[in-house]
Structures are given as structure tokens and as C-alpha cells.
């Protein structure tokens, strides 16, 4: 059985103090001996403070440079993240694709760089509202998978997480129905089977993201191809984020 992963993307929010206190509150509220993996992704400038708090949570970054080092002002390399102790990185989030113009090729280079450095990439894919309305969801998502995960070996794919985030459901209060989310997750898993193998497809975790909250988490996570959640707004408050963790744990225990 694939292990649930509940990941909190804090985006450009909070302060040093509130990042640390939030991480500590989440860690304190996670069940002892829980079987759900819990990760938090604070702003880069607060990564060191959250890591120094020693919460035991997986801590990662919200993006990383595709370059190893050099004259790239403002960029942060994979080696720098590893030096801090970060374990994971979110790549290709829709805000970076659609607001900052990241391409599949850039996401692919970042993914390969992260894997080479020993970071676990969480590679995001998802369609815009107009693309869903035009019946292009599968085409868009699979193009993003193909481009963003190009050249990965089967071994590298097993170290990678995919997050399906319909752009129209991120921060809007709208959420894909469990059936809508499951359909896309199943399509991605079929793509993995064809691109790699049934064995790889059966092991790769595919998260859902898009206005996930405690009151809809159980139904979403109960779908056979949904292996966790990439949580935005609800991850900024310990109680709401822990409610999603609890929903995952309840399904594991059932």
C-alpha cells in the first residue's frame, strides 16, 4: 500500500516566528506512531529556522534552481537546500507555471537536478478552467507529465511524487469532486504504466491539491488513486492541517 503524504505549501506567507510555531504545533498534533508522512514547505528564508526546530516533520522548499551554482543572482541551488537539511522540493506549481512562466522543460531540468542532489521532487501538473471546459484536461495533464518527467529512469520515478492540482480549484474554494479528481489520477497512473511499468505505476504517489480541507479530505483520500494531498490555505493553521492528517490516518486504520 502506498503511504499517504500530506504536504503543506505555505507559499509566501508567515514570519520566522510563526513558521516555527506552526511547524511545532503540527508536529505536536500528529498522532504518535502515525503512518501518514507529513511535510511542510515554508518560504525559503525560513527553511533553516524550521529545520532547526527539530520537529521531525519532512521539510522542503517551494522551488529550486535548475543550475548547480554560478552567476544566477537570487537563485537557490539544490546543494544549498541539502546543506540546510531540506529533504524535498515542490516543482512546477501552477503559480510558477502560470504566473512566473515556468515551462515543462524548466520543470524537467529542476526535477533532474533535485534527484541528482538527493531531494525528493513533488512535480505539480494541472489544467486551467478553460482547458477543463474545453475537454482538454487529460491532454494538458499528460503533456505536462511527459515534458516535466522526461528522461527520468524508473528508479528516479520511484523517488518522485506527482501532485495533480486543477488550477481552477487552487485558492478558490472550489474543489474537484472526488470522481473528477480520481479520474485524472487514474489517467496519470495509466500514463506511468505505459511510460515505465505496472510496478512503477503501482508505487508512485499521486497527490491531489486544490482547496483540500478537513471536511472534504476523507472523501478525496478514499479514492483508490489519490495518495495524499498538497495543501495550501488550510496548511497555514495547525488545526485545519491536522484535520487533513487525521482524515488520512483514519483511512489507514480502517
Of the residues 102, 127, 165, 182, only one is catalytic, namely 165
Nearest alpha carbon to residue 241 among 3, 73, 10 = 10
User: Is 165 annotated in the active site?
Assistant: yes
3-state SS of the chain is CCCCEEEEECCCCCCHHHHHHHHHHHHHHCCCCCCCEEEEECCHHHHHHHHHCCCCCEEEECCCCCCCCCCCCCCCCHHHHHHHCCCEEEECCHHHHHCCCCCHHHHHHHHHHHHHHCCEEEEEECCCHHHHHCCCHHHHHHHHHHHHCCCCCHHHHHCCEEEECCHHHCCCCCCCCHHHHHHHHHHHHHHHHHHCCHHHHHHCCEEECCCCCHHHHHHHHCCCCCCEEEECHHHHCHHHHHHHHHHHHHHHHC
Q: For residues 193 and 152, is the Cβ–Cβ distance under 8 A?
A: no
Of the residues 66, 93, 182, 249, only one is catalytic, namely 93
Residues identified as active-site = 93, 165
Amino acid at each position: 500500500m502506498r503511504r499517504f503524504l500530506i504536504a503543506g505549501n505555505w507559499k509566501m506567507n508567515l514570519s520566522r516566528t510563526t513558521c516555527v510555531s506552526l511547524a511545532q504545533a503540527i508536529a505536536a498534533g500528529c498522532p504518535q506512531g502515525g503512518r501518514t508522512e507529513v511535510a511542510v514547505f515554508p518560504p525559503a528564508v525560513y527553511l533553516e529556522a524550521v529545520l532547526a526546530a527539530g520537529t521531525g516533520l519532512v521539510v522542503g522548499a517551494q522551488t529550486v534552481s535548475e543550475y548547480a551554482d554560478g552567476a544566477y543572482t537570487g537563485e537557490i541551488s539544490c546543494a544549498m537546500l541539502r546543506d540546510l537539511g531540506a529533504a524535498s522540493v515542490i516543482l512546477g506549481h501552477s503559480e510558477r507555471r502560470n504566473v512566473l512562466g515556468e515551462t515543462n522543460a524548466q520543470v524537467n531540468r529542476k526535477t533532474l537536478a533535485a534527484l541528482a542532489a538527493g531531494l525528493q521532487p513533488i512535480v505539480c501538473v494541472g489544467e486551467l478552467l478553460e482547458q477543463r471546459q474545453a475537454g482538454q484536461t487529460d491532454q494538458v495533464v499528460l503533456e505536462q507529465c511527459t515534458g516535466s518527467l522526461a528522461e527520468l529512469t524508473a528508479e528516479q520515478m520511484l523517488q518522485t511524487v506527482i501532485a495533480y492540482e486543477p488550477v481552477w480549484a487552487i485558492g478558490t474554494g472550489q474543489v474537484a469532486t472526488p470522481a473528477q479528481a480520481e479520474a485524472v489520477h487514474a489517467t496519470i497512473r495509466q500514463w506511468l504504466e505505459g511510460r515505465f511499468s505496472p510496478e512503477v505505476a503501482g508505487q508512485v504517489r499521486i497527490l491531489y491539491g486544490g482547496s483540500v480541507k478537513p471536511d472534504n479530505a476523507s472523501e478525496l483520500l478514499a479514492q483508490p488513486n489519490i495518495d495524499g494531498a498538497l495543501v495550501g490555505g488550510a496548511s497555514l493553521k495547525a488545526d485545519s492541517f491536522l484535520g487533513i492528517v487525521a482524515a488520512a490516518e483514519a483511512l489507514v486504520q480502517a
